[in-house]
């Protein structure tokens, strides 16, 4: 990986202020999703916010009444404080109500945020699964996924910011009405003091987003370095090869570059922000002097002075909050747009009608002039493959590393489509079948199977997760793959947690993992079995046992085995030898041994090793 240069935001990366506003368009869709997360909580939250929006102006108004009433009573000979105490009681009630509402708002904000972030994470998982392997292997896709995945917390903040914004607007309108009633000029002063600071904020927020966006792939690299540098799975190699320094330095260099760019931006934003803030403070005191002057000249009362200065101060804070929140909202909305972009990535349209998959395979598979290159790759991996795999036949794929064996399997399973040519099943193009129903007919184990840090039971059941509680089926699958031997020696038997990530987890040896993973292929009564190097980690005896069971079990089944062990390969009915993406030989073991080509050569080579 070339080391990225310290980079600033390029022209094409730049997000303009206009883009920030445009991104706000995704907010209604966002609220629809929140509403779906919990209509009740959402209603409770908005209702409380609506009530809370009016409390400031009411409290200020009652405060004015209290002061005017005190001044009035002081000037009277015959004093009556009953109205005064009623006002005090009302203000007390309002203060308590405002506190209670604030707490309910916080609580529902938190709960809604949790529900929404769970729902959106689940959506991302589901969406990822809808995408094709080509999309999954595309780095651009990964950047999108990264942005959608990592910004969950920003989306949760967006919710509370946007709702607070609505609350603030209502609150401000009520305060503005009061100000306009007494001194409309104050509103003009207010607006002029705030606007420059708002423009400044919004400009910096789009800069910050642009920076984060242009650094998506570097942040992915940082995550990757953090992962390999501090992880129990890589620890062995890191220690052995003394890689800590290499990884730490690489991480340090990259993160420092990002830190400096970010720092530069933050410092500039802070300096400009402070300058514009001073402008706001000057205007506040200007307004204050103006109000005092109006009291001294007898135009307004002392109570009105407290109401107006209180309202002005609150409005200024509210407006400032409104604008800062606006920039935060528009920044989060840009990330939100990334999330929706990811969720909206087009997936190939499901056909309205599929050809039904044959109940029982009669003829088998036929590859007709199949060519294939991986998306985004120049190299043609398969070059004109023609062969037939008969129904019920056991075929082995043989060939040197990189010959294209696993790629053939991926095409049969429709992870990719041939760039040229077709694959037929009983004479029907396999792309005519519903892909999920089609894959259901296979029992498969890949050489790079995944080690789920789940229980042993679940690790086997992932082959057919609907049967996770079907003890009979799991026991059967385990006995076929020799995973029963692993279950028997585990402290918690079938419920044993595997891996070291979680409490009471038990790590397995390479061969033990392989036995467990192999059981997945037996978790359904599949028509076609595909085992891609299923025994590479097994000892000689275990390999022999596994195949003996496999052959017995798949008597009538169509099956494909990929193996580099010729003792296994020779058990197949026919052997397909691949070389550089082409079929070099196809025949029984005996037939291939008669022709002095690659198979015979490799077989002799391995046999010699055993002598």
Residue 405 binds ligand ATP, judged by CB under 6 A: yes
Taking CB under 6 A as the criterion, which residues in 218-247 touch ligand ATP?
none
Task: For residues 594 and 121, give the distance between their C-alpha atoms in angstroms, rounded to a whole number.
Answer: 58
Q: Which stretch binds ligand ATP (CB under 6 A): 36-44, 75-83, 210-218, 401-409?
A: 401-409
Query: Using the rule CB under 6 A, which residue among 66, 67, 385, 403 binds ligand ATP?
Result: 403
Smallest gap, in angstroms, from Cβ of residue 23 to ligand ATP? 34
Residue carrying structure tokens 């008597």: 555
Task: For residues 380 and 580, give the distance between their C-alpha atoms in angstroms, rounded to a whole number.
Answer: 9
Contact 302, 75 (CB under 8 A): no
Task: For residues 118 and 39, give the distance between their C-alpha atoms in angstroms, rounded to a whole number.
Answer: 16
Task: For residues 37 and 56, give the distance between their C-alpha atoms in angstroms, rounded to a whole number.
Answer: 31
Smallest gap, in angstroms, from Cβ of residue 446 to ligand ATP? 10
Smallest gap, in angstroms, from Cβ of residue 134 to ligand ATP? 9
Smallest gap, in angstroms, from Cβ of residue 404 to ligand ATP? 4
**Closer residue to ligand ATP, CB minimum distance, 291 or 602:** 602
**Closer residue to ligand ATP, CB minimum distance, 415 or 476:** 415
Query: Using the rule CB under 6 A, which residue among 10, 75, 401, 469 binds ligand ATP?
Result: 401
Residue 406 binds ligand ATP, judged by CB under 6 A: yes
Site size for ligand ATP, by CB under 6 A? 12
Task: For residues 36 and 38, give the distance between their C-alpha atoms in angstroms, rounded to a whole number.
Answer: 5
**Closer residue to ligand ATP, CB minimum distance, 381 or 542:** 381
Residue 380 binds ligand ATP, judged by CB under 6 A: no
**Closer residue to ligand ATP, CB minimum distance, 404 or 463:** 404
H helices present in 297-346, as ranges:
302-343
Q: Which stretch binds ligand ATP (CB under 6 A): 56-64, 388-396, 403-411, 429-437?
A: 403-411
For residue 171 the two structure tokens come to: 């609150």
Residue 404 binds ligand ATP, judged by CB under 6 A: yes
Smallest gap, in angstroms, from Cβ of residue 550 to ligand ATP? 19
Contact 109, 159 (CB under 8 A): yes
State how far the alpha carbon of 507 is from the alpha carbons of 284, 460, 499, 594, in Å: 67, 15, 4, 46
**Count of beta carbons in the 10 Å neighbourhood of residue 550:** 24
Ramachandran class of 580: left when φ > 0, alpha when ψ lies in -120 to 50, beta otherwise = left
Task: For residues 340 and 25, give the distance between their C-alpha atoms in angstroms, rounded to a whole number.
Answer: 11
Q: How far is CA 177 from the centre of its chain?
A: 46
**Closer residue to ligand ATP, CB minimum distance, 269 or 406:** 406
**Count of beta carbons in the 10 Å neighbourhood of residue 204:** 19
DSSP class of residue 453 equals S
Query: Using the rule CB under 6 A, which residue among 407, 455, 514, 568 binds ligand ATP?
Result: 407
**Closer residue to ligand ATP, CB minimum distance, 17 or 586:** 586
Task: For residues 297 and 293, give the distance between their C-alpha atoms in angstroms, rounded to a whole number.
Answer: 6
Instruction: Return the H-helix or E-strand segment holding 6.
Output: none
Task: For residues 159 and 535, give the distance between their C-alpha atoms in angstroms, rounded to a whole number.
Answer: 52
Instruction: Return the H-helix or E-strand segment holding 215.
Output: none
Q: Which stretch binds ligand ATP (CB under 6 A): 9-17, 43-51, 177-185, 399-407?
A: 399-407
Q: Which of 538, 511, 562, 532 is nearest to 448 (CA)?
A: 532
Query: Using the rule CB under 6 A, which residue among 8, 118, 281, 377 binds ligand ATP?
Result: 377
Q: Which stretch binds ligand ATP (CB under 6 A): 28-36, 151-159, 398-406, 461-469?
A: 398-406
Residue 482 binds ligand ATP, judged by CB under 6 A: no
> Which of 486-518 are b and which e, b meaning 16 or more Cβ less than 10 Å from the residue's Cβ?
bbeebeeebebbbbeeeeeebebeebbbbbbbb
Q: Which stretch binds ligand ATP (CB under 6 A): 169-177, 206-214, 268-276, 404-412?
A: 404-412
Taking CB under 6 A as the criterion, which residues in 488-527 touch ligand ATP?
none
Smallest gap, in angstroms, from Cβ of residue 403 to ligand ATP? 4
Phi and psi dihedrals of 492, rounded to 5? -100, 20
Q: Which of 216, 241, 217, 215 is nearest to 228 (CA)?
A: 241
Residue 374 binds ligand ATP, judged by CB under 6 A: yes
Q: Which stretch binds ligand ATP (CB under 6 A): 44-52, 338-346, 400-408, 541-549?
A: 400-408
**Closer residue to ligand ATP, CB minimum distance, 147 or 405:** 405
DSSP class of residue 372 equals E
Smallest gap, in angstroms, from Cβ of residue 361 to ligand ATP? 24
Q: Which of 135, 157, 134, 153 is nearest to 144 (CA)?
A: 135
Smallest gap, in angstroms, from Cβ of residue 323 to ligand ATP? 49
Contact 423, 411 (CB under 8 A): yes
Smallest gap, in angstroms, from Cβ of residue 560 to ligand ATP? 12
Q: Which stretch binds ligand ATP (CB under 6 A): 99-107, 394-402, 475-483, 501-509?
A: 394-402
Q: Which stretch binds ligand ATP (CB under 6 A): 6-14, 349-357, 396-404, 421-429?
A: 396-404
Q: Which of 530, 429, 428, 520 is nearest to 474 (CA)?
A: 520
Query: Using the rule CB under 6 A, which residue among 93, 110, 252, 402 binds ligand ATP?
Result: 402
Q: Which of 526, 546, 523, 527 is nearest to 471 (CA)?
A: 523
Query: Using the rule CB under 6 A, which residue among 112, 381, 430, 519 binds ligand ATP?
Result: 381
**Closer residue to ligand ATP, CB minimum distance, 194 or 381:** 381
Residue carrying structure tokens 């292929």: 521
**Closer residue to ligand ATP, CB minimum distance, 72 or 133:** 133
Binding mask 133-172 for ligand ATP (x = CB under 6 A): ----x-----------------------------------
Residue 13 binds ligand ATP, judged by CB under 6 A: no
Query: Using the rule CB under 6 A, which residue among 178, 280, 303, 399 binds ligand ATP?
Result: 399
Task: For residues 88 and 84, give the distance between their C-alpha atoms in angstroms, rounded to a whole number.
Answer: 6
Q: Which residues of the chain form contacts with ligand ATP (CB under 6 A)?
A: 137, 374, 377, 381, 399, 401-407
């Amino acid at each position: 990986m070339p080391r990225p240069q310290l980079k600033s935001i390029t022209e094409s990366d730049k997000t303009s202020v206009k883009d920030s506003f445009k991104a706000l368009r995704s907010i209604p869709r966002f609220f629809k999703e929140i509403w779906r997360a919990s209509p009740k909580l959402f209603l409770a939250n908005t209702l409380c916010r609506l009530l809370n929006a009016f409390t400031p102006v009411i409290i200020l108004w009652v405060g004015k009444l209290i002061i005017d009433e005190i001044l009035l009573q002081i000037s009277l000979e015959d004093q009556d404080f009953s109205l005064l105490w009623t006002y005090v009681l009302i203000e007390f009630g309002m203060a308590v109500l405002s506190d209670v509402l604030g707490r309910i708002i916080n609580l529902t904000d938190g709960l809604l945020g949790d529900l929404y972030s769970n729902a959106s994470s689940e959506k991302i998982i589901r969406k990822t699964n809808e995408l094709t392997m080509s999309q999954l292997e595309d780095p651009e896709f990964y950047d999108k996924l990264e942005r959608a995945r990592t910004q969950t917390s920003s989306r949760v903040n967006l919710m509370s910011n946007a709702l607070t914004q609505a609350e603030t607007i209502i609150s401000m309108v009520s305060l503005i009405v009061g100000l306009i009633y007494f001194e409309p000029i104050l509103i003009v002063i207010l607006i002029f003091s705030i606007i420059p600071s708002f423009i400044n904020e919004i400009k910096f927020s789009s800069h910050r987003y642009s920076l984060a966006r242009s650094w998506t792939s570097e942040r992915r690299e940082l995550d990757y370095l953090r992962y390999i540098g501090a992880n129990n799975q890589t620890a062995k190699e890191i220690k052995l090869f003394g890689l800590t320094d290499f990884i730490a330095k690489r991480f340090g260099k990259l993160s420092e570059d990002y830190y400096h760019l970010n720092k530069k931006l933050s410092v500039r934003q802070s300096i400009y922000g402070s300058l514009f803030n001073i402008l706001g403070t000057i205007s506040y005191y200007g307004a204050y002097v103006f109000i005092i002057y109006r009291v001294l000249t007898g135009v307004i009362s002392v109570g009105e002075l407290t109401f107006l200065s209180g309202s002005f101060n609150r409005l200024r804070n509210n407006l400032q909050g409104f604008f800062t929140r606006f920039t935060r909202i528009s920044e989060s909305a840009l990330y939100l747009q990334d999330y929706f972009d990811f969720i909206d990535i087009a997936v190939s349209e499901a056909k309205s009608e599929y050809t039904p998959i044959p109940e029982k395979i009669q003829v088998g598979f036929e590859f007709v002039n199949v060519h294939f290159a991986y998306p985004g790759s120049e190299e043609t991996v398969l070059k004109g493959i023609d062969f037939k795999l008969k129904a019920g036949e056991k075929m082995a794929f043989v060939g040197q590393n990189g010959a294209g064996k696993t790629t053939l399997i991926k095409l049969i399973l429709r992870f990719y489509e041939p760039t040229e040519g077709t694959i037929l099943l009983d004479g029907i193009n396999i792309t005519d079948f519903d892909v999920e129903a089609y894959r259901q007919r296979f029992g498969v184990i890949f050489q790079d199977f995944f080690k789920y840090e789940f229980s042993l039971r679940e690790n086997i059941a992932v082959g057919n997760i609907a049967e996770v509680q079907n003890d009979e089926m799991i026991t059967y699958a385990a006995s076929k793959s020799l995973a029963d031997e692993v279950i028997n020696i585990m402290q918690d038997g079938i419920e044993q947690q595997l891996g070291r990530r979680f409490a009471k987890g038990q790590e397995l040896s390479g061969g033990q993992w392989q036995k467990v993973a192999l059981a997945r292929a037996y978790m359904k009564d599949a028509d076609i079995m595909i085992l891609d190097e299923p025994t590479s980690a097994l000892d000689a005896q275990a390999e022999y046992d596994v195949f003996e069971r496999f052959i017995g079990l798949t008597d009538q089944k169509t099956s494909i085995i990929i193996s580099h062990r010729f003792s296994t390969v020779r058990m197949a009915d026919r052997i397909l030898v691949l070389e550089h993406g082409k079929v070099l030989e196809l025949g029984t073991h005996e037939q291939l041994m008669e022709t002095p080509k690659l198979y015979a050569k490799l077989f002799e080579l391995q046999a010699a090793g055993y002598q």
